[in-house]
Amino acid sequence: MRRAAAGLNPVQWLAVPMLICIVAAILFAMPARAFGFQMPEPMWALVPAFAWGVIRPSVLAPFALLILGLFFDGFWGGPIGLWALALLIVYGVVIALRNILSGQSELMMFAWYVGCIALAMAVGYVFMVFGELGRPGPLSIFWQFLITVALYPAAAWLIERFEDQDVRFR
């Protein structure tokens, strides 16, 4: 009870997932191939963007997502601010729908997660079409969407790990 009243430790639920995302992105950016195929490139930061919104509202989380998004934009060489904006939009949607999301079954949570990933990809597509006058191929978007959806167990674990640690927001 004392632990729940004390709230969450920001290092545990914000800083550690951030660090894991950054390390994973660097590892998977190796110029390597396995059996002729390139390594997959999921959008790691969408996992905490979804999970942090479900766990509880926070003042620090949006800025953590901003930093994560800017890191991914800079490291991958994309438009600076694109992933930061997509992550914040996903986080905002999840925060707004927290009351609906809470208490849902695992299957429904997975469906919401898939919807959030699709939203982030749609934000990226719309910006590339109108902002950069490019047209990303649907197949390339689909591959990144699919491999990011496959990270759902990590998001579910993060929610499971921290959701019950601060009962004020349940």
Partner 1 sequence: MALKEGQFGELKVPLTWTAAVALIVAGIVAVALLVNDRRETLQNQAYGVTRQAVDTVAAPVSGAVAAPGRWTRSVVDWVGDYFFAVSDNRKLKAELVEMRQWRDVALAQRDINERYRTLMGLRTDPPIPMVAARVISDSRGPFANTRLADAGGDKGVISGNPVMSEHGLIGRVVGVGANVSRVLLLTDTTSRTPVMIDRTNARSILTGDGGPNPRLEYLRGRDPVKEGDRIVTSGDGGVLPRGLPVGVAVKGLDGAWRVALFADSTPIDYVRILLFRDFGQLADQKSLSTTQLPTPKTEDPEAFKQQSILGNTPPPPAGGTTPPATVTPAPAQPAPAPAAPRPPAPQPAAPATTPGTPQ
Q: Whole-number minimum distance, CB 84 to partner 1, in Å? A: 4
Cα–Cα distance, 8 to 12 (Å, whole number): 8
Position among 1, 2, 5, 30 found at the interface with partner 1 (CB under 8 A): 30
Residue with tokens 């694109």: 82
Position among 59, 103, 105, 106 found at the interface with partner 1 (CB under 8 A): 59
- Is 151:47 a contact under the CB 8 Å cutoff? yes
- Is 60:14 a contact under the CB 8 Å cutoff? yes
Structure-block tokens of residue 46: 């969408």
| Number of chain positions touching partner 1 (CB under 8 A) | 59
Q: Work out whether 102 is an interface residue with partner 1 (CB under 8 A).
A: no
Residue with tokens 């992550």: 87
Q: Work out whether 97 is an interface residue with partner 1 (CB under 8 A).
A: no
Cα–Cα distance, 34 to 148 (Å, whole number): 19
Alpha helices by DSSP H, listed for 35-132, are 46-55, 60-76, 82-96, 98-101, 106-130
Q: Whole-number minimum distance, CB 93 to partner 1, in Å? A: 11
x-or-dash string of contact with partner 1, 120-159, rule CB under 8 A = -x--xx-xx--xxxxxxx-xxx-xx---------------
End-to-end, the C-alpha distance of the chain in Å comes to 14
Q: Whole-number minimum distance, CB 141 to partner 1, in Å? A: 4
Q: Which residues bind partner 1 (CB under 8 A)?
A: 26-27, 29-33, 38-39, 41, 43, 57-63, 65-66, 69-71, 73-85, 88-89, 91-92, 95, 121, 124-125, 127-128, 131-137, 139-141, 143-144, 169
